[in-house]
Chain A
């Protein structure tokens, strides 16, 4: 009954999912990661307080705002709910106008936070992942590789003679070329777990989870071909008339104690080798 009233109140503006008990709520929260949760206190089985505590204890769901919506209107109930980290506690009977505007305001804040989170993980120029996100992701994937016994590949790429490109065509054209190369990297790293990131000035990185050395080499070869296919003129390059890249690929196998810094260093070493051996190529 209450779920129906709430659905009717919110459905015109939002996608609404309903759960009949705590377990179902946790399951939905985990799989669809909603932007806001309206939670009753009295539920069959696990109560709303327990659900809230579990949501707040899990790093994947802890940032979802929770609003209690309940007939438990004693002060101690409200203090308990808010003390568990709920952002609001609304008494029944449901007043649709109030629920609607409270939900809207909390969602606006959530949206702003999501925006900031995106901003802080994205490179402003190329709009792919930035260095901060890269470091975090590399750390997480390295642990996962060891835990799940899967190989992890890393590619490091560098635009050939980019300094000369900038000097010849100017920084604005240089920025434009970086954007195009970033897009090519992104389309090469397209499995959901892959991450395309800008490492630094004209250096790019691809993290390829669950990928053996051979697979890593293939992705890198695709990326190389994509960039060549862009046909960005580079008259100042000593090797070609267009922009090319060099790529180094390294792979770690799931041995406990496998070191993240080793992986980066080896990919870097391979990149150096690719450049020594004439650039415009992949070394793995």
Chain B
């Protein structure tokens, strides 16, 4: 994963302090400025910064309250928070740290110290992001893994139920992949999986779609806000994309190249949304049917 520019949010009601921190941090990070506690929460949820520098004494909502809100919300609870404040009593520091802040820096600011502390916390954050990314991608193909698929489809079903929009799922299986492995060996099999994953991922290119490796040679495409007829058209495109890869498969009874079968199932508004396993099961059943009916085809 390439290292992107990290975003630091500064929360302070004093323009002078903001300017000072801006000067200290320089141009290394993207800065997000919030001048009150409520603005800070709003922007934190919208932008998910990598680190938050938080003043304690602010009118209406104090820094302590902001920190408590951030730590209570699953979207923001893993963002490191550093208090920067003129309150330098031991009990103030203990209070801030007890709310889950990772550091508490007393004013007056010493630029070199602030810079290196922020740098170190952002390094750790970057490392955590890398690991989060690794734990949600499939090691072999680089696309989303089963865990990510399951989290994603659950969340999307909830959204679909709330927004009253359809949600489609395509379950895919490579035809006679076992025979392919037996004929060409596992290393070639791995290569084939990578090519198929890449082609599926390229083909399902709308930003909201997710292509995941579901199991050995099974893949799944989650298509939010997509009706059945559109999903079937996408599935046909996927089949075609794999045919076009033209990966030789001499022992396949279906064709002389690699092909896939697909099952398409659609969640409609009004259905019970907590049945993600129902949707998967249904698509899986249709996939099975398309295999029974000769493979290299879509059933819906």
Contacts and interface: CB of A to CB of B under 8 A. Distances in A.
A116 interface: yes
Given A102-B97, A200-B216, A268 B186 contact: yes
B120 A87 contact: yes
Max chain B C-beta neighbours (<10 A), residue from A105, A200, A275: A200
Given A98-B93, A264-B186, A264-B187, A124 B284 contact: no
A125 interface: yes
B97 A105 contact: yes
A97 B217 contact: no
A125 B124 CA distance: 29
Interface stretch (B61-69, B111-119, B244-252): B111-119
Interface in A241-284: 261, 264-265, 268-269, 272, 275
Given A85-B120, A101-B98, A113 B131 contact: yes
B97 A82 contact: no
A40 to B, nearest CB: 19
A105 B116 contact: no
Given A79-B113, A87-B120, A132 B187 contact: no
A150 B102 CA distance: 46
A235 B294 CA distance: 24
A55 to B, nearest CB: 14
B291 to A, nearest CB: 8
Interface in B114-165: 116-117, 120-121, 124, 127-128, 131-132, 134-135, 138-140, 145-147
Contacts of A4: none
Dominant SS among interface residues on chain A? helix
Given A106-B102, A201-B217, A83 B116 contact: yes
B3 interface: no
A42 to B, nearest CB: 20
Nearest to B119: A82
Given A75-B112, A105-B97, A132-B134, A202 B120 contact: no
Given A82-B116, A105-B97, A275-B182, A113 B102 contact: no
Given A156-B186, A171-B284, A135 B139 contact: yes
A101 B139 CA distance: 37
B146 A125 contact: yes
Contacts of B216: 200-203
Contacts of B97: 98, 101-102, 105
Closest 7 pairs (CB-CB, A-B): A201-B216, A132-B139, A116-B131, A120-B134, A119-B135, A120-B135, A82-B116
Interface of A: 63, 75, 78-79, 82-83, 85-88, 95, 97-98, 101-102, 105-106, 109, 112-113, 116-117, 119-120, 124-125, 130-133, 135, 156, 163, 167, 171, 199-203, 261, 264-265, 268-269, 272, 275
Given A97-B90, A131-B138, 16 more contacts: A75-B113, A78-B113, A79-B116, A82-B113, A86-B120, A87-B124, A88-B103, A98-B90, A109-B124, A116-B134, A116-B135, A132-B134, A156-B186, A200-B140, A200-B193, A264-B187
15 contacts: A82-B113, A82-B120, A95-B90, A98-B94, A101-B97, A102-B97, A112-B128, A120-B135, A125-B215, A130-B139, A156-B186, A200-B140, A201-B215, A202-B216, A264-B187
